[in-house]
Amino acid sequence: MGGRPTPGIGFGIGIDRTVLVAEEQEIPAPAMPAVVAVISPHGGDLATRLEVAAVLRTAGIAVRPDGSNRKLGRQLETAAKVGARWAVIVQGGADDPLILRDLESGEQQELRLSEVPGAIGS
- Write the pLDDT tens digit of every residue in 65-89: 998 889 999 999 999 998 999 999 9
pLDDT at residue number 6: 84
| Domain annotation covers residue 98 | yes
**What stretches of 59-102 show up as alpha helix (H) in DSSP?**
72-81
| Domain annotation covers residue 54 | yes
**Residues above pLDDT 70, as percent of the chain:** 97
What residue type is 34 in one-letter code? Answer: A
| Domain annotation covers residue 114 | yes
- Write the pLDDT tens digit of every residue in 4-28: 888 888 888 888 888 899 999 999 8
pLDDT at residue number 9: 86
Domains identified in the chain, total number = 1
| Domain annotation covers residue 84 | yes
- Strand ranges across the sheet with 63-65: 63-65, 35-39, 84-90, 98-102, 108-111
pLDDT at residue number 122: 53
| Domain annotation covers residue 30 | no
| Domain annotation covers residue 39 | yes
Q: At 111, which CATH number?
A: 3.40.50.800
Domain that holds residue 66: 35-121
